[in-house]
Amino acid sequence: MKTETKCIQSGYTPGNGEPRVLPIYQSTTYKYDSSEHLGKLFDLKAEGHMYTRISNPTVACVEQKIAELEGGAGAMLTSSGQAASLIAIMNICKAGDHVVSSSTIYGGTFNLFEVTLKKFGISFTFVAPDADEAEIRAAFRPETKAVFGETIANPALTVLDIEKFAKIAHENNVPLIIDNTFATPILCRPFEFGADIVIHSTTKYMDGHAMVLGGAIVDSGKFDWTSGKFPELTEPDESYHGVVYTRDFGSAAYITKARVQLMRDLGSAMSPMSAFLLNVGLETLALRVERHSENALKVAEFLGGNDKISWVNYPGLSDSPYKALADKYLPRGTSGVISFGIKGGKPAAVKFMDSLKMAAIVVHVADARTSVLHPASTTHRQMNDEQLVEAGITPDLIRMSVGIEHIDDILGDIKQALEKL
């Protein structure tokens, strides 16, 4: 089945006389005929739903769809992208452990890693996405448990060399975790290039309409957790009477532990209604991402030829330093997000954004409507100047999320705003 078809058909298959559209199972709990059966569910010895914090029929269908879109063995939806990032790390890391991360990542993820998880005793070393192999290898420690990066960085728009980072991660017997939010499985499927875990903020392109918060963790099912570095997966979990995830769940060990242990304890579950709305967005994902990418390339080319623009960063441009990587990993397009600078620095950037009529200034990205943001003073304002430079964020940087409106209207809005500078 082609990816475009999976967006519509995967996850839910109605039986004879059943609803054609995925039903919303708006229930927190489930009825069972015997205490024995329910006990087996709690011991992880039977399949089924026992409480919606752990699983729900509506949510499960959407999880299955996303797993199939990414080519993974299983998926788990979360209440937000931040929750997905948190659980993806905490599922295999504890106090004293270490993670190597690309430096060009979303500001919220950077804060999660550098501030909050540090308080839990998990440390991070940040390396440039274009660092050579020797520099990346030098960042590893005996206690390193994972490598993290973004397919297309938010908002620096660097393209990660997934195969390079996967190779080095696997040399050190640790998984590569990829945030594939901007690319979506329509433009890139990181598992095909060696990634082991994929996460998403489904709030962005997957929803596509700025209606519902959500996140997803997808497990490739291919990483070998039995090297001795991951006792949480290979030794008995006494909270489940000695369950050993690798022994009892095989290729689904990681995603099962994330669900029955971390989701059980942290509770950052997606609601059935949110999953239903997300599924509606997923059905048009392939169409929207194609239009986003087409429009963004035209906007980037227009800005590159305007004398009021100092620079333009979009991986799809022919002169982008990431064009070769984009051709390799993102041959169908490079998303709808571009970044650029306006001559005159931050004051000119603010005036430009305030002069836009159709495009809105919002703390969001990757939905159907064109929007802009000044990351240095908003989403990444917690960073100091040195950290901003490492993240590829300059004071004049404007992030534009190009929507799926008609390109003539998008360009017209940009032109009239530039004329006011």
Q: Decide: residue 29, CB within 10 A, 0-12 exposed, 13-18 middle, 19+ buried.
A: exposed
Percent of the chain that is helix, strand, coil (3-state, to 5): 40, 15, 45
Joined together, the tokens standing for residue 350 give 């603010």
**Contact at 8 Å (CB) between 197 and 175?**
yes
Distance CA 92, CA 258 (A): 9
Give the model's pLDDT for residue 246.
Answer: 98
**Contact at 8 Å (CB) between 286 and 7?**
yes
Please give the helix or strand (H or E) that residue 312 lies within, else none. Answer: strand 309-313
Give the model's pLDDT for residue 223.
Answer: 98
Give the model's pLDDT for residue 163.
Answer: 98
Span 76-101, mean pLDDT?
98
Give the model's pLDDT for residue 298.
Answer: 98
Give the model's pLDDT for residue 380.
Answer: 65
For residue 14, say if its preceding peptide bond is cis, omega within 30 degrees of 0.
no
Give the model's pLDDT for residue 144.
Answer: 98
**Using the 8-state DSSP alphabet, how is residue 23 labeled?**
P
Give the model's pLDDT for residue 374.
Answer: 86
Give the model's pLDDT for residue 346.
Answer: 81
Beta strands in 79-116 (DSSP E): 98-102
Lowest pLDDT segment from 44-48, 51-55, 223-227, 266-270: 44-48
Average pLDDT, the chain: 95
Question: What is the domain class of 3-280 according to CATH?
Answer: alpha beta
As separate numbers, helices (DSSP H) first and strands (DSSP E) second, the chain gives 19, 12
Joined together, the tokens standing for residue 22 give 């995925």
How far out from the chain centre does Cα 176 lie? 13
Span 111-138, mean pLDDT?
97
Residue 343: closest CA among 421, 288, 399, 261: 421
Span 234-256, mean pLDDT?
95
Tens of pLDDT, residues 31-87: 999 988 888 888 888 888 989 999 999 999 999 999 999 999 999 999 999 999 999
Tens of pLDDT, residues 350-399: 899 999 999 999 988 999 999 999 877 766 667 777 777 776 777 788 99
Place 121 in a pLDDT band, splitting at 50, 70 and 90: very high
Residues 6+ apart with CB under 8 A from 154: 105, 106, 181, 182, 337, 365
Give the model's pLDDT for residue 250.
Answer: 97
Give the model's pLDDT for residue 98.
Answer: 98
Span 224-240, mean pLDDT?
96
**Contact at 8 Å (CB) between 70 and 185?**
yes
**Contact at 8 Å (CB) between 334 and 370?**
no
Give residue limits of the domains in the chain: 3-280, 287-418
Distance CA 247, CA 421 (A): 64
**Contact at 8 Å (CB) between 176 and 197?**
yes
List own/partner pairs for 220-228 with CB under 8 A and 24 or more apart: 220/71, 220/72, 220/73, 220/191, 220/195, 220/196, 221/72, 221/73, 221/74, 221/251, 221/252, 221/255, 222/73, 222/191, 222/196, 222/251, 223/175, 223/196, 223/197, 223/254, 224/173, 225/253, 225/254, 227/173
Candidates 3.50.50.60, 3.90.1150.10, 3.40.50.620, 3.40.50.300; correct CATH number of 287-418? 3.90.1150.10
